[in-house]
């Protein structure tokens, strides 16, 4: 019997593990997953719940430990230092080597830092990995106050985590409101108010200028407005970037991420890249070249498995969607709601007076075609919006049928009339 092809996957996150599971489902290939971070795959999005005491580390593992042996997926805990593409050889730490026939790079993200002096002081950190979480435990043992730089998804999680330990938090946000580079201004202001209602101090239009240390530890920071704020913890959450530093000097072409075509193939044959580390050379219309989110990482994992097993079809993530939580408000987004819409996109924003529910609907003003929706504190049905986006429904249809998309039909019994009249009133006026 010929020896089965050896597929090596670097990275045991959702992208790499999805690829491994699907390759096993449809083939008999030898599969090895290498990762430096943890023995087993865990749910990165749930890291915060371990710190907050809602879950134990074991609860983050979606599969029992026996799953891997049973499915003949070999796990190797090691860091890959170098890839030699000509000989198809990986160089690991401790002088180990491993050969591959096909290689999948699923190396995820690392936190982005600002390049300011003092970022190497203890007490200054990002939050991406298991090791970051462990460091946060250590850094907050005797923490009296914290500053977080950056108003994004990881920043708000960090704020909520620290809040559960009664650590006063100040967030420095460069924009006018929270996560305004992704959310329209009214949505961003709505979320800023919500975060503030939990006792987090938000400093909008404020940047980090200087980090002051004492005995190797962060002691205070200075802001762009000249204020000095004392802190024992400085959380840097200004975004993540693809984890590709170890590819320097290899034949594999990179830009901000690892460049791939629509078949997730790099410039080197038999090497693919998926998940947070991949950068699409020609992104699908309306999509970004790097999409560092859970579900696209999973979709790329499924797609590359098919491709490697001889069923080449193009990566097609369908309509954009995502969800997150800002303290106790759940956020969902479907389709395209631009932070700064151009002429071909108009927004209708509605907010409940209690400050816990809101939505923004985007549409094309010329054709009235529904483009997308952001909802806050209202749970929507993915499959309904996905269908409406694919069918290119018009705005009026969507508004009239919102009830179908809602998990809580009573919500619309109570608010439908108000949303409709607000829509009529707002759409008569020019948008601000
Ligand atoms: C705190 C936090 C909260 C998040 N919340 C959400 C959310 O609510 N919704 C959402 O959609 N997304 C969220 N994300 C993003 C989401 O978790 C990622 O998009 C997703 O996990 C990416 O998966 P991946 O498989 O590409 O990479 P990763 O999960 O990052 O896995 C990559 C693995 O490869 C390993 N590795 C890298 N280089 C090497 C090497 N040279 N040798 C060996 N191993 C290596 C890494 O150590 C890591 O274990 C969140 C991320 C964080 C950090």
Interaxial angle between packed helices 294-308 and 14-26, expressed in degrees from 0 to 180 and rounded to the nearest 10: 30
398 in the same domain as 360: yes
255 in the same domain as 336: no
> Which residue lies with its CA nearest to atom 6 of ligand 1?
45
- The CB of 175 under 6 Å from ligand 1? The reply is no
> Which residue lies with its CA nearest to atom 47 of ligand 1?
37
Give the pLDDT confidence of 28-79 residue by residue, as tens digits.
Answer: 999 999 999 999 999 999 999 999 999 999 999 999 999 999 999 999 999 9
What pLDDT is stored for residue 431 in this prediction?
43
- The CB of 276 under 6 Å from ligand 1? The reply is yes
In a domain, 313, yes or no: no
292 in the same domain as 353: no
In a domain, 117, yes or no: no
In a domain, 67, yes or no: yes
CA gap 427, 406 in Å, rounded: 23
CA gap 391, 398 in Å, rounded: 11
- The boundaries of the domain holding residue 358 are 321-427
- The CB of 290 under 6 Å from ligand 1? The reply is no
Within a 10 A sphere around the Cβ of 12, how many other Cβ atoms? 26
162 in the same domain as 69: no
258 in the same domain as 232: no
Cα 11 to ligand 1 centroid, rounded to whole Å: 9
- The CB of 123 under 6 Å from ligand 1? The reply is no
Cα 266 to ligand 1 centroid, rounded to whole Å: 20
208 in the same domain as 186: yes
- Which CATH number does the domain housing residue 78 bear? 3.50.50.60
232 in the same domain as 246: no
In a domain, 271, yes or no: yes
385 in the same domain as 332: yes
226 in the same domain as 329: no
In a domain, 41, yes or no: yes
253 in the same domain as 294: yes
Are residues 272 and 264 in contact, defined by beta-carbon separation less than 8 angstroms?
yes
Domain count, the chain: 3
Q: Which two tokens stand for residue 169?
A: 């938090």
- The CB of 297 under 6 Å from ligand 1? The reply is yes
- Which CATH number does the domain housing residue 329 bear? 3.30.390.30
pLDDT at 430 over 60: no
Cα 215 to ligand 1 centroid, rounded to whole Å: 33
Mean pLDDT of 103-111: 97
Which ligand 1 atom lies nearest to the CA of residue 293?
A: 19
Among 238, 261, 291, which residue terminates a domain?
Answer: 238
> Which residue lies with its CA nearest to atom 38 of ligand 1?
107
Q: Which two tokens stand for residue 113?
A: 């830092």
pLDDT at 409 over 70: no
- The CB of 235 under 6 Å from ligand 1? The reply is no
In a domain, 145, yes or no: yes
Torsion of CA 254, 255, 257, 263, to 10 degrees: -60
Mean pLDDT of 128-140: 97
Give the pLDDT confidence of 182-196 residue by residue, as tens digits.
Answer: 999 999 999 999 999
128 in the same domain as 82: no
Pick 353 or 275 by higher pLDDT: 275
Whole-Å CA distances, 35 to 38, 60, 71, 93, 305: 7, 17, 18, 12, 18
In a domain, 316, yes or no: no
Among 308, 343, 360, which residue terminates a domain?
Answer: 308
Among 281, 308, 335, which residue terminates a domain?
Answer: 308
Which ligand 1 atom lies nearest to the CA of residue 129?
A: 53
Cα 394 to ligand 1 centroid, rounded to whole Å: 37
Confidence bin at 427 (pLDDT 50/70/90): low
Give the pLDDT confidence of 155-167 residue by residue, as tens digits.
Answer: 999 999 999 999 9
Contacts of residue 58, Cβ cutoff 8 Å, sequence gap at least 6: none
In a domain, 180, yes or no: yes
Confidence bin at 412 (pLDDT 50/70/90): low
- The CB of 18 under 6 Å from ligand 1? The reply is no
384 in the same domain as 360: yes
């Amino acid at each position: 019997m010929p020896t089965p092809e050896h597929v090596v996957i670097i990275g045991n996150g959702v992208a790499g593990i999805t690829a491994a599971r699907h390759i096993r489902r449809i083939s008999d290939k030898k599969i090895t997953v290498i990762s430096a971070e943890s023995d087993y795959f865990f749910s990165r999005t749930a890291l915060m719940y371990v710190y907050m005491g809602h879950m134990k580390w074991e609860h983050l593992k979606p599969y029992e430990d026996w799953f891997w042996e049973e499915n003949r997926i070999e796990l190797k805990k090691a860091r890959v230092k170098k890839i030699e593409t000509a000989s198809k050889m990986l160089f690991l730490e401790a002088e180990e080597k491993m050969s591959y026939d096909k290689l999948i790079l699923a190396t995820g993200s690392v936190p982005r830092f600002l390049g300011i002096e003092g970022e190497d002081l203890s007490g200054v950190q990002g939050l991406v990995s298991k090791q970051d979480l462990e460091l946060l435990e250590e850094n907050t043992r005797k923490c009296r106050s914290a500053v977080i730089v950056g108003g994004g998804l990881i920043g708000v999680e960090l704020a909520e985590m620290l809040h559960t330990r009664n650590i006063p938090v100040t967030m420095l946000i460069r924009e006018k409101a929270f996560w305004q580079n992704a959310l329209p201004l009214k949505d961003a202001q709505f979320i800023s108010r919500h975060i503030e209602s939990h006792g987090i101090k938000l400093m909008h239009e404020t940047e980090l200028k200087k980090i002051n240390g004492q005995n190797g530890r962060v002691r205070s920071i200075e802001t762009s407005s000249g204020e000095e704020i004392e802190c024992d913890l400085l959380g840097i959450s200004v975004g993540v970037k693809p984890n590709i530093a170890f590819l320097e000097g290899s034949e594999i072409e990179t830009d901000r991420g690892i460049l791939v075509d629509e078949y997730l193939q790099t410039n080197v044959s038999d090497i693919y890249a998926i998940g947070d580390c991949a950068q699409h050379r020609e992104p699908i219309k309306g999509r970004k070249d790097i999409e560092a989110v859970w579900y696209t990482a999973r979709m790329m994992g499924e797609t590359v498995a098919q491709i490697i097993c001889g069923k080449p079809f193009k990566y097609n993530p369908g309509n954009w969607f995502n969800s997150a939580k800002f303290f106790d408000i759940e956020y969902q987004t479907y389709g395209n709601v631009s932070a700064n819409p151009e002429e071909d996109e108009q927004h209708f924003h509605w907010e409940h007076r209690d400050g816990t529910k809101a939505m923004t609907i985007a549409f094309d003003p010329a054709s009235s075609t529904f483009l997308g929706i952001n909802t806050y504190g209202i749970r929507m049905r993915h499959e309904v919006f996905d269908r409406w986006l694919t069918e290119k429904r018009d705005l009026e249809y969507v508004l009239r049928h919102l009830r179908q998309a809602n998990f809580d039909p009573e919500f619309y019994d109570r608010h439908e009339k108000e949303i409709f009249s607000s829509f009529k009133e707002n759409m008569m006026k020019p948008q601000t």
